[in-house]
Chain A
């Protein structure tokens, strides 16, 4: 990888900041939601907790309809290691475990635990860790695992898996860049819970024998930067450094932030861990701190409620499963024109306002008419290259588009389609209003499907060939058996003929019967076997 020269960009940064290519400066819209203090909203009448609320496998419910649960009680267990625990976000009664529309652009249903709060919001017994210093690595990871902590930056990757690898990790990067417009939850969390976040980061750092911590933050968050400096001094934490990066979308992308803070690129097909780096989000640090020192499982998160139609914009602690509809009503907001979960650059439009908040939900945008996603007709690409200048991965978006729309997927792959992080910078700048990312998503999913189809076809072909071979073999064996039987018959007849003609006739008859039986038996076996084989191949298809 090339190391670009460090260019001191901001005086506030405590480490050298490197350049990243491309990037855009969309309107921030952050002041709307970062003025008010963090608040809470009244509980919803019903919480719809999506059991597929993390990356990996769907959690397995351990409660049934009619059960009463306390806040923080486990309601669903992990399905294998690549999954997460789910806890009751409040006390109340489980009224159903059924399929509901989940927070996904497709509008698909999935299994949800539906909880009716009793209004008491009563915690179950919590088991905070008393001697954190004495705990070994495994015990800390177990606690993080059992408290259902997943990455809160957006991907909801189970944290215990990410923290597992510890060989050769030398730096922990805390992602506080929050480069998406509108979203301010990490900023506010850093301002109001600074110490908890820093202590959470320290817990992670201890898992790797006190490695250095860099907090990567955009220079548009001066209050959070000051808060970090002050808290760091008060807590006497000397291993935390601030990496203040210029405000530019998408500086908060994992790969981009690594490049900004270290000048290194994560090699294609590798992970940050291969560079000795591990990155966690601000919210995740807070959740880990809460899980250990308070013993609190992850049952709520800070969510930015914003948009032109949101009448009380700000950051709120929202219990998981709270329907978005409730958030609209509780903030006296108008019915949004477009309802976006996440930011305007990488979020997705919700299929319905009934879906519940999940662990990945950092923002809900209740947009007004014309605020977001003006449906402009796409004009032809004029190859102006504005997209190329905006691409943080140094791709040629115009070429990717050209090949994707022509279904020339091999060419698109040649232009490194799969290195596209779908940040949307290209589509943002496109003067022809082409929804470029949409074309890339289409191309990527088609290529993935084709790969799966290819493997399937390959397997089917192998199966078919194996079957043909076996049928051949059986046929050969059968012919062989018939031949042998005939020979035996002939031999027996000959032998009998030598001794006694009468006995010989009987012998010959017996031999004929025997041969016939044998032949019949082998026929039936064969029939059975080919029938079983047919069933098998059907099942596989």
Chain B
């Protein structure tokens, strides 16, 4: 429909602008990741973006939709961007291509395109890769400061595209830390140590554990937190969901920590480890797949936070933002249905006969 009736006044905002703000706000986090994990991060990002744009254009053509205006809305780019930020830095190029194109085709367009998908496309792509290639997807480089052999641009390109390093250094060597151990993420490290019978205070003596969470990782999370806060203040995202995610993590991890700090991590560690801040501010806030009622936003966020800590603590995966987001995505239609706000002039839902029941 064209504009036939009021209102004629229009706020100067647009989906494109929102998407570009989201991308812009990830830049501090991106730069910190490049600093700690090398150029592989940037290469992943470029591969994912190119794949997303090509796939989106291809599917739009198949679906006989206008290509340029929809490409321009920026949503495909955001999907690729967020997925790439979640990928390990030296992932083989075709895995990135596979994950991104799967996200665009199956998580987005199969459901009817932007606005109609139930699941967060970036997280669908991520989970596909995680369960298909668990080894590659959990192999992170050590932060550059701890790496025995820091990865340069040439090496990163070579490894990602050919699977072999350019010089005599093997990939396994690159993955080794100064102490000769293969480096994992801090969350991975804790999980492995606990499985081997160590306690958390012992596990935390490793060089990779540092400050709020782990070397490098605390800075990555702080940078995403800064970008996320900027989005919040620019009102590109609501404040409810990110706060609820962090609150949900705290509500589950704090009692556990007090119950037994030998086996359960301090809430601050959860908050600044892994993909927490990226998830809370950039992934959980995806408007399409999040709950859209005032109360629903809180339930949605709290659920993501709680599930993440539960899986990290009791499940088989070191990090769980993606699973938590997808699980809560699934619950959104029900959450939205039961959290309809009270309309002006209507009695409270509780008093309304059959208000929620169908």
Point out the residues of chain B lying under 8 angstroms from A317, CB to CB: none
Residue of B nearest to A427 (CB): B7
Given A374-B10, A382-B114, A431-B18, verify A268-B3 contact (CB < 8 Å): no
A373 to B115, CA, bound (A): 24
Determine which residue in A27, A377, A388, A435 has the highest number of CB atoms from chain B within 10 A of its CB, and name it. Answer: A435
Mask of A356-393 contacts with B, CB within 8 angstroms, 1/0: 00000000000100001111111111111100110011
Q: Are B14 and A437 in contact (CB under 8 A)?
A: no
Q: Are A344 and B9 in contact (CB under 8 A)?
A: yes
Chain B residues numbered 1-39 whose CB sits less than 8 Å from any CB in chain A = 1-11, 13-15, 17-18
Check B163 for interface membership: any CB of A closer than 8 A.
no
Which residues of B come within 8 Å of A, CB atoms? 1-11, 13-15, 17-18, 69-70, 73, 75, 113-116, 238, 287-288, 290, 292-294, 297, 336, 340-348
Determine which residue in B13, B75, B292, B347 has the highest number of CB atoms from chain A within 10 A of its CB, and name it. Answer: B292
Given A428-B11, A431-B18, A438-B4, verify A382-B345 contact (CB < 8 Å): no
Q: Are B344 and A265 in contact (CB under 8 A)?
A: yes
Check A467 for interface membership: any CB of B closer than 8 A.
no
Q: Are B73 and A379 in contact (CB under 8 A)?
A: yes
B6 touches which one: A348, A374, A385, A431 (CB < 8 A)?
A348
Q: Give the shortest distance, in Å, between B59 (CB) and chain A (any CB).
A: 14
A105 to B6, CA, bound (A): 10
Residue of A nearest to B116 (CB): A380
A268 touches which one: B15, B114, B346 (CB < 8 A)?
B346
Given A383-B288, A385-B292, A435-B1, verify A393-B9 contact (CB < 8 Å): no
Point out the residues of chain B lying under 8 angstroms from A227, CB to CB: none
Given A346-B6, A437-B7, verify A383-B287 contact (CB < 8 Å): yes
Q: Are A373 and B8 in contact (CB under 8 A)?
A: yes
Q: Are B9 and A372 in contact (CB under 8 A)?
A: yes
Point out the residues of chain A lying under 8 angstroms from B347, CB to CB: 267-268
Residue of A nearest to B9 (CB): A344
Chain A residues numbered 388-419 whose CB sits less than 8 Å from any CB in chain B = 388-389, 392-396, 398-399, 415-416, 419
Q: Are B344 and A393 in contact (CB under 8 A)?
A: yes
Residue of B nearest to A385 (CB): B292
Determine which residue in A26, A427, A431, A439 has the highest number of CB atoms from chain B within 10 A of its CB, and name it. Answer: A431
Check A489 for interface membership: any CB of B closer than 8 A.
no
A24 to B13, CA, bound (A): 14
Q: Are B343 and A395 in contact (CB under 8 A)?
A: yes
Point out the residues of chain A lying under 8 angstroms from B290, CB to CB: 383
Residue of A nearest to B345 (CB): A268
A340 to B5, CA, bound (A): 10
A80 to B79, CA, bound (A): 64
Q: Give the shortest distance, in Å, between A276 (CB) and chain B (any CB).
A: 16
Which residues of A come within 8 Å of B, CB atoms? 1-2, 21, 24, 26-27, 105, 181, 255, 259, 265-270, 338, 340, 342, 344-349, 367, 372-385, 388-389, 392-396, 398-399, 415-416, 419, 422, 424-425, 427-429, 431-433, 435, 437-439, 441
Q: Are B340 and A383 in contact (CB under 8 A)?
A: no
Given A267-B345, A393-B343, verify A435-B4 contact (CB < 8 Å): yes
Could you list some 16 contacts between A and B, CB below 8 A?
Answer: A27-B9, A268-B347, A345-B9, A367-B8, A373-B9, A382-B114, A382-B287, A383-B115, A393-B343, A394-B341, A416-B346, A424-B9, A429-B11, A435-B3, A437-B6, A439-B1
Point out the residues of chain A lying under 8 angstroms from B10, CB to CB: 373-374, 376, 427-428, 433
Residue of B nearest to A423 (CB): B7
Point out the residues of chain B lying under 8 angstroms from A384, CB to CB: 18, 287, 292
A-B pair number, CB within 8 angstroms: 152
Q: Are A416 and B343 in contact (CB under 8 A)?
A: yes
A181 to B8, CA, bound (A): 11
Q: Are B346 and A441 in contact (CB under 8 A)?
A: no
Q: Are B340 and A396 in contact (CB under 8 A)?
A: yes
Point out the residues of chain B lying under 8 angstroms from A393, CB to CB: 343-345
Q: Are A396 and B6 in contact (CB under 8 A)?
A: no
Q: Are B293 and A388 in contact (CB under 8 A)?
A: yes
A349 to B17, CA, bound (A): 29
Q: Are A441 and B5 in contact (CB under 8 A)?
A: yes
Residue of B nearest to A397 (CB): B292
Determine which residue in B11, B116, B340, B348 has the highest number of CB atoms from chain A within 10 A of its CB, and name it. Answer: B11
Q: Give the shortest distance, in Å, between B11 (CB) and chain A (any CB).
A: 5
Q: Give the shortest distance, in Å, between A465 (CB) and chain B (any CB).
A: 33
Determine which residue in B6, B13, B114, B290 has the highest number of CB atoms from chain A within 10 A of its CB, and name it. Answer: B6
Point out the residues of chain A lying under 8 angstroms from B6, CB to CB: 342, 344-348, 422, 424, 437
A385 to B13, CA, bound (A): 14
A-B pairs with the 6 shortest C-beta distances? A424-B7, A384-B287, A380-B115, A373-B8, A344-B9, A372-B8
Q: Are A398 and B292 in contact (CB under 8 A)?
A: yes
Q: Are B346 and A419 in contact (CB under 8 A)?
A: yes
Residue of A nearest to B2 (CB): A375
Q: Are B343 and A419 in contact (CB under 8 A)?
A: yes
Point out the residues of chain A lying under 8 angstroms from B8, CB to CB: 338, 340, 344-345, 347, 349, 367, 372-373
A270 to B345, CA, bound (A): 9
A381 touches which one: B11, B115, B345, B348 (CB < 8 A)?
B115
Query: Beyond A268-B347, A431-B13: 18 further Cβ-contacts under 8 Å?
Result: A2-B348, A26-B9, A26-B11, A268-B346, A346-B6, A347-B6, A380-B113, A382-B15, A392-B344, A394-B343, A396-B292, A416-B346, A419-B345, A427-B7, A435-B1, A435-B3, A435-B4, A441-B5
